[in-house]
A and B are shown apart, each in its own frame.
Chain A
């Protein structure tokens, strides 16, 4: 839940507020970055960059424009995508493109125990394939509605309503 007072303190340069923000958001941010880059070492570097940006640019967050979470999300996705486009990434041997959050949740045995503890993995299994794709593109990859419609060959309006149904399913599952 967005804590407006905390954000204000962050914007005033309060380091303890920054630490609290880190505690609240770093795992989600790391999950987003990792799902794009699929490399733990690089993702942790980018995670640091993202929080340096959050600290340095906090004054540019404006609640008229959107949620604080969304602001952070954009920084994380942009930093990850910038990295993919950068030289150092092209030089790296790994092929990082294909994975999405579903593969990550399903394939990584070393933390599947953790995902199970939160209880998310089994929910993901229940989600319809179209939901997995929609959530991956719109949320994890930051596609626009239009790009998603093109990628999935689906009318624009359908992207919006189907995604709503998918998130409802996810919320239902998480609420149990």
Chain B
């Protein structure tokens, strides 16, 4: 099992919410026992959710409520003790009453069990259906996205510009698929690191001699975007593209020491 992928799939959050089916939950419980990394992740998710829900609580007198709960617990056990002590002489009517109650309870229990079984069966089938639907929906969504991307890349007017990692992030890489006819630039940012909080990637169209950068847009909601392909408008006569890391909302001119990737457009043949 690829643990990183498992963790980043989002299944553990649903597990803590209780939004998985019983079968799925059992699988996660098993995984968490076998892999300390998964256990740690689950615990961290849980702590965050506990804090969040606690913050939604109005101020209250926790001790008074605990005392009241304990009183209710106490009342119950006292009640039974008194009940037993009082029974000193045989009271047949009462015994008959108890016997009838027991028979009734047993009967009710079976009816209840039966109903529960049916309900469980039903809900597990519903869950199974939901799972199938999800798989189909996912597959369809993926296929649609792939087709869209293929259509973009196959267009004869598209030129690909590779942007190589710069000093700040030598490992980074991005590509621009630029359709000059339609003034569109598709940024493939799969190999850019996730931006730190409060920062955003900004894409620049560059003209050389003199060097003139023009912003063509931000890679907004970077962490929310699954395929990391961003469509931006670019009506410039770009000679190169660059991507910098900027404060949220973007900047008027690029912060050059935060230049992540850069690449020149190949000269027209």
Binding site for B on A (CB under 8 A): 1-2, 15, 19, 22-23, 25-32, 34-35, 40, 43-44, 47-48, 51-52, 55, 63-67, 69-70, 73-74, 101, 104-105, 108, 110-111, 114-115, 118, 120-121, 128, 130, 135, 138-140, 142-146, 148, 155-158, 160-165, 167-172, 174
Q: In the assembly, what is the distance between CA of A104 and CA of B226, in Å? A: 31
- A66 touching B29 in the complex, CB below 8 Å, given contacts A139-B49, A145-B19, A164-B13: yes
Residue among A105, A108, A156, A169 with max Cβ neighbours from chain B (10 Å):
A156
Q: Of all chain A residues, which has the CB nearest B8? A: A164
With A52-B69, A101-B56 known, 14 other A-B pairs at CB within 8 A are: A1-B46, A44-B65, A65-B26, A66-B18, A128-B224, A135-B52, A138-B13, A157-B134, A162-B224, A163-B13, A163-B14, A168-B223, A169-B223, A171-B45
In contact, B11 and A69 (Cβ under 8 angstroms): no
In contact, A65 and B25 (Cβ under 8 angstroms): yes
Secondary structure at chain A's binding surface: helix, strand, loop or mixed? helix
Partner of A22, one of B30, B56, B69, B130: B69
In contact, A161 and B226 (Cβ under 8 angstroms): yes
Which of chain A's residues have a CB closer than 8 A to the CB of B68? 48
Q: In the assembly, what is the distance between CA of A110 and CA of B15, in Å? A: 33
Which of chain B's residues have a CB closer than 8 A to the CB of A148? 19
**Total of A-B residue pairs, C-beta within 8 Å:** 186
Partner of B54, one of A19, A22, A31: A31
Contact with A along B51-87 (1 / 0, CB 8 A): 1111111111010011011101100000000000000
In contact, A167 and B48 (Cβ under 8 angstroms): yes
Secondary structure at chain B's binding surface: helix, strand, loop or mixed? helix
In contact, B29 and A63 (Cβ under 8 angstroms): yes
Number of interface residues of B (CB under 8 A): 56
In contact, B57 and A30 (Cβ under 8 angstroms): yes
In contact, A111 and B58 (Cβ under 8 angstroms): yes
- A170 touching B52 in the complex, CB below 8 Å, given contacts A28-B57, A138-B17, A163-B10: yes
Which of chain A's residues have a CB closer than 8 A to the CB of B141? 155, 157-158
Which of chain B's residues have a CB closer than 8 A to the CB of A105? 55-56
Which of chain A's residues have a CB closer than 8 A to the CB of B11? 160
In contact, B45 and A26 (Cβ under 8 angstroms): no
Q: In the assembly, what is the distance between CA of A52 and CA of B65, in Å? A: 11
In contact, B15 and A120 (Cβ under 8 angstroms): no
**What are 8 A-B pairs at a CB distance below 8 A?**
A30-B54, A32-B53, A34-B56, A135-B52, A157-B137, A161-B226, A164-B10, A174-B48
In contact, B18 and A70 (Cβ under 8 angstroms): yes
Q: Does B4 contact A (CB under 8 A)?
A: no
Nearest-CB distance from B37 to chain A (Å)? 15
Q: Does B90 contact A (CB under 8 A)?
A: no
Q: Of all chain A residues, which has the CB nearest B43? A: A1
Q: Of all chain B residues, which has the CB nearest A48? A: B69
In contact, A165 and B56 (Cβ under 8 angstroms): no
- A142 touching B17 in the complex, CB below 8 Å, given contacts A19-B66, A31-B53, A156-B134: yes
Which of chain A's residues have a CB closer than 8 A to the CB of B52? 31, 101, 120, 135, 139, 170
Q: In the assembly, what is the distance between CA of A63 and CA of B51, in Å? A: 22
Interface of chain B residues 132 through 146 with chain A (CB within 8 A): 133-134, 137-138, 141
- A146 touching B56 in the complex, CB below 8 Å, given contacts A64-B26, A69-B50: no
